[in-house]
Amino acid sequence: MPNGAQPVLDVQGLKTVFKIRGGEVHAVNDVSFDLRAGELLGVVGESGSGKSVTMMSLLGLLPTPPADVRDGTVTFQGQDLLKVDAETLRGVRGGKIGFVFQDPMTSLNPVYNVGMQIMEPLRKHMGMNKKQATVRAKELLELVGIPDAERRLKDYPHQFSGGMRQRVMIAIALACDPQVLIADEPTTALDVTIQAQILELMKDLQERLGMAVIWITHDLGVVAGIADRVLVMYGGQIVEQAPTRELFRDPQHPYTRALLKTVPRVTGGREERLAIIEGQPPILGEQPTACPFRDRCDVAFDMCAKQNPPRFDVGNGHDAACFYDARTGGPRNA
Amino acid sequence: MLTYTIRRLFTAIPTLIFISLIIFLLLDMAPGDPTASLPLTIPPEVREQIRQSLGMGEPVHIRYLLWLKQMVWSEPMFYLSQSVSWIDTPDAARLISWQTRAPVLDTVFERIPQTLMVVGLAYVVGVLIALPIGVISAYRQYSVFDQAGTFVSMIGFSIPPFFSGVLMIILFTVMMPNDSFWWFPSIYDTTLVVDSWENFGKQVRQMVLPVMVLALQTTAQISRFMRASMLDNLNQDYVRTARAKGMTESVVVLKHVLRNSMIPVITVIALGIPAIFGGAIITEQIFKVNGIGQLLIVSIQGSDVPMVQTLTFIFAVLIVFFNLIADILYGILDPRIRYD
Ligand SMILES: Nc1ncnc2c1ncn2[C@@H]1O[C@H](COP(=O)(O)OP(=O)(O)OP(=O)(O)O)[C@@H](O)[C@H]1O
Ligand code: SF4
Ligand SMILES: [Mg+2]
């Protein structure tokens, strides 16, 4: 386990707001985390919890307007990515940090062949000529397990299946040997067997290439299988952070505990029904001043309405943003 | 791509035959007699002879086939024999205009340069202005530039050429002092021969007003299409992918987005080429450009059936031809179509 390794990416106090008609949506609030070299960091949370917005904010990939990354620092190789000039940022995007998006069906440009789309970052970031880039592109397709790679370089996205396209996306993200790979729910659009294949592939590549990976998903089962450490997001905040085994052994936040109950478990050959968390995730019109999970929390008490809980360290590299201490059954002493 | 093109080509042929049949039958049913404009002193027997010599005695399907043969074989062969020595001039008589007694196609070919010069140039100018306007308007949506573009397009869309043409004449010919740089002639002088810089200047000046009128219309339409298509594509996921790969904004917009956006726009542009001949009928009339649009009007007024038949057939050919061009360009730009 790469525990205690140097962080390659350090995010502090990130805040992203969308300006919409008649107000704002505070999609990401004071998010801080780090990513250590060679680790696979899982990010979980239900739909709308701000996972994608957080990751896209890091690389300035959100359309502005409406998005506005208002606050925070993103330290990567001694530079704050939120402050660097456009050219430096472009050098990081696709060169040092690769990105795989949620929907493989629409993430490739339909009018260019996949060879050209894989070669684009190679030529830009690695300064390769066309011939070198072609050779490398072929290697990459082989790496992600696409048979007959040389011929397929000339094919267009519509000639690939969904799973194949996602492999192409992964090949693009890996093209320039990035230090960090951000995968935003890379398997949700795929069927279960393909999901398992892609998962297998990513884990394998990560071990072989030694890069750090951020893996976004809303599937805790996936996280349990591959992640070294987990961030749980809710209402645009990180509500719990822990090494994977620690999180599953001793979840601290009521939201995490509810999530864990929704993971299907095979007991005695019969699958239990999913426990559904009552209520809706909040859409925050302003900076939250109370715990965003309050309305759905079964152990909420007066403190929770007065203040937004900070992240309390509970030992073993584990922290949770909750005033309630499950171990004592009473309030935490800050 | 080749099979795709060939397939399109073959489907064009029955379309053309069908259209020609419709045109022929429609005009055949129209009232009008080739001898109507002859002097009344000609006796009825002679009149009848003239009618027979024009082939009016034959049943309609024979006349159609004869006409078709004339259009696709005799006339092309005649022009071929004129240009290369090893083809003999065909025996068949030329198709003659009832009004001018000159071969129909000779007249048409005399008129085409004027039309191409004015209408064609206007279209090229209009498209060349429209595309960048569309791209910038979309990329800077709701900016001052975009708002201005929207306003100008609205004007171009809503004011028909017969109005804007007259307005231009009033502004630049009637109200403008004659010695001003901004004065432009309202009448297009076809007899002007460009043999000196001075005449070249004159030629340019007399083209300004009709080109402006037509280009305004083209620009308004194409720039709207371009803008809408760009906006559609700018929000696509593949654009984000391109940015995430570290591509510069110019590569993202001009390579990734533009090519996708051109797919629907190229169809509109190609299909607009024959359509503008129709639109130009009015503009040619206003500015007295004696192009084929004007020829059509005069021929209709004079019940010159062979001329009208030929011109409508040419328009039909143009429409089918540019449909074909649009299809082919579509296939070149979009691999999903090509590999069907
Ligand atoms: N363009 C936008 N305009 C306004 N609000 C937005 C926009 N994009 C995202 N949001 C808001 O930001 C919040 C977080 O969205 P985000 O896409 O990060 O969720 P997510 O955790 O990735 O969800 P999912 O699992 O569905 O991908 C949501 O509440 C959403 O409403
Ligand atoms: S802070 Fe309060 S409301 Fe929020 S999760 Fe903890 S106990 Fe529930
Ligand atoms: Mg998402």
For ligand 2, the distance from its centroid to the CA atom of residue A282, given in whole angstroms, is: 14
Query: Is pLDDT larger for residue A281 or for residue B134?
Result: B134
For residue B20, how many other CB atoms are within 10 A of its CB?
20
Name the residue in chain B with its Cα closest to that of A159.
B336
Structure tokens at A253: 């936040």
Dist CA B217 CA A193 (whole Å): 55
Closest in A90, A101, A158 to B241, CB measured: A101
Dist CA B166 CA B213 (whole Å): 10
CB contact under 8 A, A124 and B241: no
Residue A5: the pLDDT is 61
Give me the count of residues in chain A: 334
Residue A112: the pLDDT is 92
* A300 ligand 2 Cβ < 6 A: yes
Confidence of residue A119 (pLDDT cuts 50, 70, 90): very high
**In testing the pocket of ligand 1, which one of A21, A43, A47, A53 has its CB within 8 Å of the most ligand atoms?**
A53
Distances (CA, A) of A267 to A139, A264, B40: 44, 9, 108
Q: Which residues of B touch A116 (CB under 8 A)?
A: none
Q: Which residues of B touch A106 (CB under 8 A)?
A: 236-238
Contacting residues for B264 by C-beta, under 8 A, at least 6 apart: B225, B229
Structure pTM?
Answer: 0.82
CB contact under 8 A, B244 and A158: no
> What letter does residue B160 receive in the DSSP assignment?
-
CB contact under 8 A, A172 and B241: yes
Please state, rounded to an integer, the average pLDDT across all residues of chain A: 84
Q: What is the pLDDT of residues A155-205, one digit of tens each?
A: 999 998 888 888 899 889 888 888 899 998 887 767 777 777 778 878 887
Residue B244: the pLDDT is 92
Q: Which residues of B touch A110 (CB under 8 A)?
A: 238, 260, 334-336
Q: Report the nearest atom of ligand 1 relative to the CA of A53.
A: 18
Query: Is pLDDT larger for residue B339 or for residue A242?
Result: A242
For residue A185, how many other CB atoms are within 10 A of its CB?
20
Distance from CA of A5 to the nearest CA of B (A): 27
CB contact under 8 A, A111 and B263: yes
Closest in A93, A106, A110 to B246, CB measured: A93
Hey, of B233, B237, B241, which one would you mutate to test binding to chain A, going by the most A CBs within 10 A of its CB? B241
User: Is A162 an 8 Å CB contact of chain B?
Assistant: no
Structure tokens at A227: 């992640």
Domain that holds residue B165: 105-333
Sheet containing strand A67-76, edge to edge, reads: A23-36, A7-20, A67-76, A79-80
Residue A269: the pLDDT is 40
What does the DSSP assignment read for B212-278?
Answer: HHHHHHHHHHHHHHHHHHHHHHHTSHHHHHHHHTT--HHHIIIIIIHHHHHHHHHHHHHHHHHHHHH
Structure tokens at B82: 């004129």
Q: Which residues of B touch A99 (CB under 8 A)?
A: 241, 244
- Burial group, residue B242, by CB count within 10 angstroms (0-12, 13-18, 19+): buried
Hey, of A56, A87, A92, A120, which one would you mutate to test binding to chain B, going by the most B CBs within 10 A of its CB? A120
CB contact under 8 A, B335 and A113: yes
Residue nearest to atom 7 of ligand 2 (CA): A300
Domain that holds residue A219: 7-96+176-264+276-331
Residue A238: the pLDDT is 92
User: Is A115 an 8 Å CB contact of chain B?
Assistant: no
Q: Which residues of A touch B262 (CB under 8 A)?
A: none
Split into its structural domains, chain A has a count of: 1
Confidence of residue A117 (pLDDT cuts 50, 70, 90): very high
Split into its structural domains, chain B has a count of: 1
Name the residue in chain B with its Cα closest to that of A123.
B247
Residues whose beta carbons lie less than 5 angstroms from ion ligand 3: A 52
* A234 ligand 2 Cβ < 6 A: no
For ligand 1, the distance from its centroid to the CA atom of residue A185, given in whole angstroms, is: 13
CB contact under 8 A, B241 and A90: no
Residue B146: the pLDDT is 92
Q: Is the pLDDT of residue A37 over 70?
A: yes
In-domain check, residue B86:
no
Q: Is the pLDDT of residue A274 over 60?
A: no
Least confident of A7-16, A255-264, B32-41, B191-200: B32-41
Dist CA B239 CA A127 (whole Å): 22
In-domain check, residue A124:
no
* A45 ligand 1 Cβ < 6 A: yes
For ligand 1, the distance from its centroid to the CA atom of residue A53, given in whole angstroms, is: 6
* A217 ligand 1 Cβ < 6 A: no
* A66 ligand 1 Cβ < 6 A: yes
CB A289 within 8 A of CB A307: yes
Q: Which residues of B touch A156 (CB under 8 A)?
A: 335-336, 339
In-domain check, residue B287:
yes
- B291: domain CATH number is 1.10.3720.10
For ligand 2, the distance from its centroid to the CA atom of residue A311, given in whole angstroms, is: 12
| Tens place of pLDDT per residue across chain B (340 aa) | 778 888 888 888 888 889 888 888 888 777 766 666 667 777 787 777 777 766 677 788 888 888 888 888 888 888 888 888 777 777 777 888 878 888 888 888 888 888 888 888 889 999 999 999 999 999 988 899 999 999 988 988 888 888 988 898 998 988 888 888 888 888 888 788 888 888 888 888 888 888 888 888 889 999 999 999 999 999 899 999 999 999 999 999 999 999 999 999 998 898 888 876 665 778 888 888 888 888 888 888 888 888 888 888 888 888 888 888 888 888 888 888 776 5
Structure tokens at A79: 């530079």
For residue B281, how many other CB atoms are within 10 A of its CB?
20
Query: Mean pLDDT throughout A219-240?
Result: 88
Closest in B240, B334, B336 to A61, CB measured: B240
Q: Which residues of A touch B263 (CB under 8 A)?
A: 111
Dist CA B91 CA B225 (whole Å): 50
In-domain check, residue A1:
no
Residue A232: the pLDDT is 93
- A20: domain CATH number is 3.40.50.300
In-domain check, residue B132:
yes
The dihedrals phi and psi of A108, each to the nearest 5 degrees, come to: -105, 150
Q: Is the pLDDT of residue A265 over 60?
A: no
ipTM confidence score: 0.85
Q: Mind spelling out the 3-state secondary structure of chain A?
A: CCCCCCEEEEEEEEEEEEEECCEEEEEEEEEEEEEECCCEEEEECCCCCCHHHHHHHHCCCCCCCCEEEEEEEEEECCEECCCCCHHHHHHHECCCEEEECCCCCCCCCCCCCHHHHHHHHHHHHCCCCHHHHHHHHHHHHHHCCCCCHHHHCCCCHHHCCHHHHHHHHHHHHHCCCCCEEEEECCCCCCCHHHHHHHHHHHHHHHHHHCCEEEEECCCHHHHHHHCCEEEEEECCEEEEEEEHHHHHHCCCCHHHHHHHHHCCCEECCEECCCCCCCCCCCCCCCCCCCCCCHHHCCCCCHHHHHCCCCCEECCCCCEECCCEECCCCEECCC
